[in-house]
Amino acid sequence: MEGSSKVIHAIYTDDDVLMAAVKKVRAERYHIEEIYTPFPVHGLDKVMGLAPTRLAITSFLYGLVGLVVSIVMINYMMIEDWPQNIGGKPSFSYLENMPAFVPIMFELTVFFAAHLMVITFYLRSRLWPFKEAENPDIRTTDDHFLIEISAGTNVDEQFDILRNTGAVEVTLIDKAH
């Protein structure tokens, strides 16, 4: 499997050209390994055919966890463990004193939903401090767009197609080295 480690990098300088190129490349049934852009290109994920994110669903579930944590915690501390009379607030049951607990329930729900979702995002997108940057070309963080497709058996034909889509640079890269 000599060819499998080889990829082709096509560089573009305009996001509209990039979008058209992605459509073309997908129509030619070449597999897009990755696209590097300096900023979010609206609609790129749809054109690439990426599956929608499930991050919002995880966030909802984390929020539920936070809500349960807050309820269990407050119920244990304020009602079961040491039900004191604090300023005449009824501590006989959770429901009776519920309004006083709502601010904490709300905040913990938001806290869990937000933080755990962010951590999930970091884990899933493999982001952490001291992580080695992965961009193949430093210009993709500034003003260039890069499509990476795996090189097939007929590299010349792939080069032609990519050049025709408006790529300013097309290079063959051997990832093995």
| DSSP-assigned letter for residue 177 | -
For the chain, list the strands marked E by DSSP.
6-12, 32-36, 145-150, 169-174
Query: CB neighbours (10 Å) of residue 38?
Result: 15
> By rule CB under 8 A, what string of x and - marks binding of each residue 72-91 to another protein?
----------------x---
* 56 or 172: CB nearest another protein: 56
Interface with another protein, residue 69, by CB under 8 A? no
Q: Tell me, what amino acid is at 149?
A: I
* 47 or 161: CB nearest another protein: 47
Rounded to the nearest whole angstrom, what is the least distance from the CB of residue 122 to another protein in the complex?
A: 23
Interface with another protein, residue 65, by CB under 8 A? no
Distances (CA, A) of 41 to 15, 19, 29, 46, 104: 7, 9, 22, 11, 39
Question: How far is 143 from 145, CA to CA, in rounded Å?
Answer: 7
Interface with another protein, residue 41, by CB under 8 A? no
5, 33, 54, 60: which one binds another protein (CB under 8 A): 60
Stretch that binds another protein, among 14-22, 95-103, 142-150, 156-164 (CB under 8 A): 95-103
Secondary structure of 89-133 in the HEC alphabet? CCCCCCHHHHHHHHHHHHHHHHHHHHHHHHHHHHHHCCCCCCCCC
Interface with another protein, residue 172, by CB under 8 A? no
20, 100, 114, 155: which one binds another protein (CB under 8 A): 100
Interface with another protein, residue 40, by CB under 8 A? no
Q: Enumerate binding residues for another protein (CB under 8 A).
A: 56, 60, 88, 99-100, 102
